[in-house]
Amino acid sequence: MSITEKISQFVVDSSVEKMPPEAVKIAKQAIMDCLGCMLLGAVQPIGEIISEFVIEAAAKPIATIVGQGKKTVPHLAALANGVMAHAEDYDDMCLAIYGHPSPPLLPAILALSEQYKVSGKKVIEAYITGFEAGASLGQALNSGHYNRGWHGTATLGTIEAVAASAKLLKLDMNQTRMALGIASSEVSGLRQNFGTMTKPFHAGNAAKNGVIAAQLAAKGFTADPNIIEAPLGFGYMFQGDKPPDWEKVASLGKTFEITTSGIAFKPYPSCGETHAGIEIILDLLQKYHFSAEDVTGIECIFNETMNSVMLHTSPQKGLEGKFSAEYCIARALLDGKVGLQDFTDEKINQPQVRRLMEKVKRKIDPAMAMIASTINVKLKDGRQLSQHTETPKGWPQNPLTQEELVAKYKDCAQFVLSPGDIARSAELLENLEDIKDITELMNILGKSSVCQV
């Protein structure tokens, strides 16, 4: 059986009844977390821009644009919601795809689920199906794919979105292979755009492309049936520094990456690679009771991949600050916290934060694990403080609690929804598998607000 055929067979045969309870639990957490980020993104400038763009198409009002009080056709709703879900870089992460699994995946699912009045159980089934298809392929491609400059949220996210869309549209084996073929020619997304509005566009574009590919395949549109493993196909064009390890796809459906690689949920609204540094600084402040004025120098140690993700050593824009170890550490030192209000152009360019950023120096340690960091702090009184974090808060080995995830959702949703709607939507999401039709949930999430973070 070819690789494309294997993935297609998994999509067609997958069933929530065959999925581990832990997979269902994690999927529900990811769906809630992503929707919170989507609501937050709806009141950001990028949310306004992308929503205006899709509303101007004056398309049929079928699928909800979250937080905007408007509807459009499914693929454009997927585009807008995917962009908004990734707008603040507060959304989930997964090392299996070296990116953010939910922003390209969930918006595609919601758009088609609303059109066909799908149950909550089917939403979960489509989520896990799409996640597993993208994650297994991500494992096969290895980290070299990411290191070459491809953004996994865009590339593997497209595979997630098309697999989930094919599942919801009940495509057969041949149609699913065609959908994968179509989607593979839509894939793109370059990491050089990190710190700009185009990074969130990667997620929305992947969601849109997945919906379009599945819809075209349903109508008989054709593509190469072996697109994943073909000589000029997805695997070899997007591989890293060595050929794909197709054995990673062989276990698809037997084991579940959502329970092994898992999903990380963010406690801070910035690039995940900044989190270890933030966490260490906050912990050192609590332990040793010093201030930003006491600091003479800071050394940040991490691996080259993390260094390449945090592109901006001297950020000028709020979005750039999300990808800057220097800014995130300086902000944590100054305020003793890092939150939603901290990534504006004004905050980035405060004189005191810029002076502190100049004291932060990077050092690369090739042996250090991904997401790990060591921070060394020198103080005026001669003390030298050092701390290492292997796994920051939020990763599967050091997870947020269910209560913390619900609190994060409510914190994000407050900018759009009333207290009553927040409580009701949280209740629906915590009991998602029992919902017969997601229309009520989408009607709540579709309400608009004039609030802005």
Helix (H) or strand (E) holding 34: helix 21-42
Tell whether 237 and 257 lie within a shared domain: yes
Residues 259 and 172 in one domain: yes
What is the three-class DSSP state of 374?
Answer: strand
* Residue 239 shares a structural domain with residue 299: no
Q: Is residue 375 part of a domain?
A: yes
End position of a domain, from candidates 389, 414, 431: 389
Q: What is the C-alpha separation between 101 and 121, in angstroms, rounded?
A: 19
C-alpha to C-alpha distances, 304 to 53, 273, 428, nearest whole angstrom: 37, 11, 42
Q: Is there a single domain that holds both residue 407 and residue 261?
A: yes
Q: What are the tens digits of pLDDT across the range 218-230?
A: 999 999 999 999 9
The confidence score (pLDDT) of residue 449 equals 67
State which of 356, 371, 389 marks the end of a domain.
389
The count of domains in the chain is: 2
241: containing domain? 3-267+398-445
Main-chain dihedrals φ then ψ at residue 99, nearest 5 degrees: -175, -155
> With contact defined as beta carbons under 8 Å apart, do 156 and 134 qualify?
yes
Q: How many CA atoms lie within 13 A of 275 on its CB side?
A: 24
Q: Which residues on neighbouring strands pair with residue 388, listed in sequence order? A: 374
CATH of the domain at 148: 1.10.4100.10
DSSP 232-250: TSHHHHS--SS---THHHH
Domain final residue pick, 365, 389, 413? 389
The Cβ-side half-sphere exposure at 102, using a 13 Å CA radius, reads: 30
pLDDT single digits (tens) 6-17 = 999 999 999 999
453 domain residue, yes or no: no
Residues whose CB falls within 8 Å of the CB of residue 284, separated by 6 or more in sequence, listed in order: 290, 375, 377, 385, 387
Whole-number pLDDT of residue 450: 46
Q: Helix crossing, 21-42 with 45-55: angle to 10°?
A: 90
- Residue 120 domain-assigned? yes
pLDDT for the residue numbered 31: 97
What is the predicted pLDDT for the residue at 239?
86
Residue 374's beta-bridge partner residues? 301, 388
Residue type, 400: L
Q: pLDDT digits over 226-246, tens only?
A: 999 999 999 999 987 788 999
Do 420 and 326 fall within a single domain? no
CA distances from residue 196 to 267, 318, 319, 354, 415 in whole angstroms, order as listed? 21, 9, 6, 20, 23
Report if residue 284 sits inside a domain: yes
Q: For residue 75, give Cα distances in angstroms to 85, 162, 311.
A: 15, 11, 31
My answer on whether 112 and 14 are in the same domain is yes
Distance (Å) of CA 155 to CA 52, 80, 137, 215, 237: 25, 18, 10, 19, 11
For residues 214 and 70, membership in a common domain is answered with: yes
For residue 37, the Cα-to-chain-centroid distance in whole angstroms is 10
Cα 13 versus chain centre, distance: 26
Torsion angle, alpha carbons of 204, 205, 209, 215, to 10: 50
Do 244 and 360 lie in one domain? The reply is no
Q: How far is CA 70 from CA 81, 129, 410, 444, in A?
A: 12, 28, 22, 12
Q: What is the pTM of this model?
A: 0.94
Q: What's the burial of 293, exposed, middle or buried (CB within 10 Å: 0-12/13-18/19+)?
A: exposed
Give the CATH number of the domain where residue 336 resides.
Answer: 3.30.1330.120
Which runs of consecutive H residues, i.e. helices, occur in 230-344? 234-237, 247-250, 257-260, 275-288, 304-309, 318-321, 325-335
Is 212 found in the same domain as 95?
yes
Report DSSP letters for 396-443, one per residue.
TTSPPPHHHHHHHHHHHHTTTS-HHHHHHHHHHHHTGGG-S-THHHHH
The answer to whether residue 451 sits within a structural domain is: no
Residue 113 CA to residue 164 CA, distance in Å, equals 10
State whether 362 and 229 are in the same domain.
no
**Residue 177 φ/ψ, nearest 5 degrees:** -65, -40
| CA angle, residues 136, 142, 145, in degrees to nearest 5 | 110
Q: Are residues 431 and 348 in the same domain?
A: no
Residue 247 lies in a domain: yes
Residues of the chain with pLDDT under 50: 450, 452-453
Q: Are residues 302 and 157 in the same domain?
A: no
Rounded Cα–Cα distance for residues 360 and 351 (Å): 15
Count Cα neighbours of 262 within 13 Å in the Cβ-side half-sphere.
11
Domain membership flag for residue 452: no
Residue 450 placed within a domain = no
